[in-house]
Amino acid sequence: MDEEAALRGPGDQRRRGRGAGREAEARAAAVEAKQDAAAAFYDMDQAQKYLDGRVTVLTDLDQAAGAAARRDLDRLNGSADAASIGYIDVVDAHDLDSADRSVPEYDAARRAFLAVGGRLRKITGDLDHFAERLAPQMARLETALDRLPPRLAAAREAVAAADAAIAAAQKAGMDASEPEAELAKAKEGLTVLGSQGLGGLGLSGAMDKADEVARIAAGAREAAEELPLLGEKVRNSLASVRTRVDVVAGRVEPVRQAMKKLLVGYSQACWQDLKGAPEAIDGGVTRARERLNEASALLSRNEWKQAQQALTAARTELNAADRRAGQVTGRVTELDAVRTDPAAPAEAARFVVRDAQKLAIAQPGGPAPRHARVLDGLVERLEAAPKRLTGAHPDYWAYLQELEAIKTAAGDVVARIRAERATGG
């Protein structure tokens, strides 16, 4: 024992020991509070990282829901960041490793660490509650996510099958440019699906895109597989259209004879709109033959799509020529019939008008004035129609057209009455 210690005596040494003990206790309590705060800080940081990952997944699966969740998480992260700064400030302000700290300083450090630890735990609790609220939605989406891989697999298989079918068609010398273009669209869709985050489509959009890819690829495959069948179909069609060309060509002479009959037996008004029909039909047949020759040349080069288009053009020409021929021969038939019995078409029109009158009269309260006026006008036109058949060369065609117009107008009245009855008007 040194001289100074001897001078202080035993009492002073006891007091000094008690002071050292209180400092040790205060420091231990402060250290424990610091450790608790550090654990709270770690827990909050882990909760933030977990939620950030979950919200990222949610955004991939459902962009709208993910955006809303991200906004909520950003608000919580703002509070967490502020608490983190507060925690670091407390750590910097209270160096518990320093040997010259007093009991009040240790107590102040303990209270500061307890306060910041409580704040950190509060925010961690808020983050945990947010995770709990998010969990059911995530569970539903992740369950739905199980349905995506089979659809992606089906899309890839459809693309592979289309690729094989197109390759086989090209190897056989066929023009597969159209199905190949469709397959390119399907492959582009697969690329989108293969990008990060479901291609930015969300779960529902990704499943729809996978279905679309499979559908487009299936169409491309079917088109490629049909190319050989199309060739056979076009060959058969070519033979069929050639036969029809001969049939329509055979109508040219009967049409010429019918036109001569119209010119000799009827007024100009009865046939003027048909003038030049034989030449038009002959020209249509010539153009159809040209298209057939073009189709035959395309077939020899296995260009079946283009050959089919040429055949369609040939059919269009033949249809127009056929209709023109029918107009001429039909006109002769109609005019001969009305010249033989002019009253027959008038009686047919009168029958239609009478039916319309009966329907109008049967309405509650009798015929509506607007309908009665129209029907009365049609009766007057019926009475006046025979006056068109005057002179040495009556205009039978105008007579027939007038009677058809009367029948059409009567039919319109019937349609309006029935519509009004259906709507209660």
pLDDT bracket for residue 291 (50, 70, 90)? very high
**CA neighbor of 163 nearest in space, from 142, 181, 180, 188:** 180
Determine the pLDDT at residue 99: 66
Determine the pLDDT at residue 79: 87
**pTM exceeds 0.75 for this model:** no
**How far apart, in whole angstroms, are the C-alpha atoms of residue 194 and residue 217?**
16
Whether the CB-CB separation of 194 and 253 falls below 8 Å is answered with: no
**How far apart, in whole angstroms, are the C-alpha atoms of residue 5 and residue 243?**
136
Determine the pLDDT at residue 91: 87
Is the pLDDT confidence value at 19 over 70? no
Place of tokens 């962009």: 63
pLDDT bracket for residue 145 (50, 70, 90)? low
158-184 pLDDT, tens per residue?
A: 999 999 999 988 887 777 888 999 989
Residue 237 domain flag: no
Is the pLDDT confidence value at 141 over 70? no
Determine the pLDDT at residue 108: 87
Determine the pLDDT at residue 4: 46
Residue-number span of the structural domain to which 179 is assigned: 148-231
Determine the pLDDT at residue 18: 52
Q: What is the mean pLDDT of the chain?
A: 85
Is the pLDDT confidence value at 1 over 60? no
Mark whether 168 and 196 lie in a shared domain. yes
Q: Which of 97, 127, 145 is the last residue of a domain?
A: 145
Determine the pLDDT at residue 7: 44
Alpha helices in 94-201 (DSSP H): 103-145, 148-171, 177-194
Percent of the chain with pLDDT over 70: 90
325-354 pLDDT, tens per residue?
A: 999 999 999 999 999 999 999 999 999 999
Residue 66 domain flag: yes
> What's the residue count for the chain?
425
Mark whether 9 and 58 lie in a shared domain. yes
Percent of the chain with pLDDT over 90: 38
- Give every CB contact of residue 161 below 8 A, 6+ residues apart in sequence: 217, 218, 221
Mark whether 135 and 172 lie in a shared domain. no
Q: Which of 231, 260, 278 is the last residue of a domain?
A: 231
Is the pLDDT confidence value at 418 over 80? yes
Q: Residue 29 CB: number of other CB atoms within 10 A? A: 17
**CA neighbor of 120 nearest in space, from 34, 37, 46, 47:** 37
**CA neighbor of 274 nearest in space, from 330, 317, 214:** 330
Mark whether 128 and 159 lie in a shared domain. no
Residue 241 domain flag: no
**How far apart, in whole angstroms, are the C-alpha atoms of residue 363 and residue 360?**
6
Whether the CB-CB separation of 245 and 292 falls below 8 Å is answered with: yes
Mark whether 119 and 8 lie in a shared domain. yes
The region, left, alpha or beta by phi > 0 then psi within -120 to 50, assigned to residue 364 is beta
Mark whether 303 and 415 lie in a shared domain. no
Is the pLDDT confidence value at 241 over 50? yes
Report which secondary-structure segment, H or E, holds 237: helix 202-249
* Domain count for the chain: 4
* Long-range CB contacts for residues 248-252, cutoff 8 Å, separation at least 24: 248/281, 248/284, 248/285, 248/288, 248/318, 248/321, 248/322, 248/325, 249/282, 249/285, 251/281, 251/321, 251/322, 251/325, 252/278, 252/281, 252/282, 252/285, 252/325
Is the pLDDT confidence value at 5 over 50? no
